């Protein structure tokens, strides 16, 4: 079976604000990502210090959960802003592309779990 090629999707116009930007969530998302980055550095330090395996695994799980929360927030913003706008535009081609883009993203996200 040959690898699937992504279907080109029309992206938002550069002047259009994405959901996380328009909703004022950008700074909150960046703050969460900096916190996750710090947690990842902490895991690296734990490994360097030969800390107990279960403690390291617990921290890895916490980082995964935190990243998942960020992903859900961005996915939620995408649905409530980008996809909703495409559907409201009345352009069936754009709406179909955004819907497919959303479903593909959900499938990728589900496979990663």
Q: Which domains does the chain show, CATH number per domain? A: 20-111 (1.20.58.1000)
What are the tokens at 66? 């935190």
Half-sphere exposure of 81 (CA within 13 A, CB side): 17
Residue 66 · residue 36 · CB < 8 Å: yes
**Is residue 18's pLDDT more than 90?**
no
Question: In which band, very low, low, confident or very high, does the pLDDT at 7 lie, cut at 50, 70 and 90?
Answer: very low
pTM of the model: 0.75
Residue 63 · residue 51 · CB < 8 Å: no
CB atoms within 10 A of CB 81: 19
Q: Rounded to whole angstroms, how far apart are CA atoms 58 and 54?
A: 6
Residue 20 · residue 26 · CB < 8 Å: yes
Residue 53 is predicted with a pLDDT of 97
Residue 1 is predicted with a pLDDT of 47
More confident residue, 16 or 12: 16
Ranked by mean pLDDT, the top range of 24-33, 41-50, 88-97, 101-110 is 41-50
What is the four-CA torsion angle of 60, 42, 67, 16, rounded to 10 degrees? -160
Reported as a single tens digit per residue, the pLDDT across 41-90 is 999 999 999 999 999 999 999 999 999 999 999 999 889 988 999 999 99
Question: In which band, very low, low, confident or very high, does the pLDDT at 4 lie, cut at 50, 70 and 90?
Answer: low
Residue 20 · residue 77 · CB < 8 Å: yes
């Amino acid at each position: 079976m040959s690898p699937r090629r992504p279907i080109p999707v029309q992206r938002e116009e550069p002047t259009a604000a994405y959901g996380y930007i328009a909703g004022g969530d950008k700074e909150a998302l960046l703050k969460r990502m900096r916190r996750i980055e710090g947690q990842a550095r902490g895991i690296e330090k734990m490994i360097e210090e030969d800390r107990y395996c279960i403690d390291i695994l617990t921290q890895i799980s916490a980082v995964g959960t935190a990243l998942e929360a960020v992903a859900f927030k961005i996915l939620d913003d995408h649905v409530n802003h980008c996809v909703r706008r495409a559907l409201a535009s009345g352009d069936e081609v754009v709406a179909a592309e955004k819907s497919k883009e959303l479903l593909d993203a959900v499938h990728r996200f589900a496979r990663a779990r």
